[in-house]
């Protein structure tokens, strides 16, 4: 059922556009990852660093690139760790939010009673960490079952049952639930990609240090070779 809804979304104009953007983005990223510049040929041919590693450093290099001084290295390491930890925290927080918040549901707070609950077509229930209850159309038509639910007020129960029993409101709830689901489907990959980009910035700093050390070592070896040649 969920796969059918995803396919239906992808068949829409905006769904198809987002899918094309995603495929185009992956293709462009792969092409960029395997790009090199003429001045960086020495990294590949003489030092043996692959193109993807060079690009993931988010820097350009030349044979004349000067090595980082100690102060710069300390800053790069400190800032890199901070960026990686920030991205990890964002990943944890957003994943927790997605796991905790309703995806196939709509979270509603009743305007008058301030009762909060989750709702979808044919079903309403308590939000996490609150007294447990469930309301279905069958419960709505059974007053004795409805009266057993005491953790929410009567006005809230009337509101819920109106959206579970009245056809027009049932249709409105279904549309709202689908809209919420598709919004999450669109927002989730965008946010995760943003977090991934932040993480890449942190990793890039350590890759830059690695490449810088390789260039420095290469220069030292070249100097040693020149010295041996002269002597």
- Tell me the per-residue pLDDT of 183-192, one tens digit each, with 9 for 90 and over: 887 888 889 9
Core vs surface per residue 98-119: b (16+ CB within 10 A) or e: eeeebebbbebebeeeebebbb
Q: What angle do CA 57, 63, 69 make, to 5 degrees?
A: 65
- Express each pLDDT in 14-38 by its tens digit: 556 667 777 888 888 888 889 888 8
CA dihedral 120, 124, 129, 132 (to 10 degrees): -150
Q: Which two tokens stand for residue 17?
A: 């556009």
What is the distance between the alpha carbons of residues 73 and 60, in angstroms, rounded to a whole number?
A: 17
- Each residue's pLDDT tens digit, 48-94: 999 999 999 988 888 888 888 899 999 999 999 999 999 999 999 99
**pTM, 2 dp:** 0.71
Closest CA to 164 of 126, 123, 132, 134: 123
């Amino acid at each position: 059922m969920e796969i059918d809804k995803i396919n239906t979304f992808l068949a829409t104009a905006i769904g198809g556009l987002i899918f094309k953007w995603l495929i185009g983005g992956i293709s462009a990223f792969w092409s960029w990852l395997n790009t090199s510049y003429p001045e960086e040929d020495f990294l590949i041919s003489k030092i043996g660093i692959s193109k993807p590693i060079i690009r993931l450093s988010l820097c350009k290099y030349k044979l004349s690139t000067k090595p980082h001084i100690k102060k710069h290295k300390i800053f790069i390491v400190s800032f890199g760790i901070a960026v990686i930890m920030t991205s990890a925290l964002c990943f944890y927080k957003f994943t927790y939010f997605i796991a905790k918040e309703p995806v196939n549901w709509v979270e509603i707070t009743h305007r008058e009673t301030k009762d909060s609950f989750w709702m979808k077509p044919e079903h309403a229930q308590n939000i996490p960490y609150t007294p447990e209850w469930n309301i279905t159309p069958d419960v709505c038509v059974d007053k004795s079952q409805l009266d057993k639910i005491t953790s929410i007020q009567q006005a809230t129960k009337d509101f819920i049952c109106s959206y579970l029993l009245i056809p027009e409101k049932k249709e409105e709830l279904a549309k709202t639930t689908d809209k919420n689901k598709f919004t999450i489907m669109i927002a989730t990959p965008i946010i995760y990609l943003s977090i991934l980009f932040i993480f890449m910035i942190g990793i890039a700093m350590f890759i830059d240090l690695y490449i810088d050390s390789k260039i420095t070592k290469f220069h030292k070896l070249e100097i040693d070779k020149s010295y041996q040649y002269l002597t």
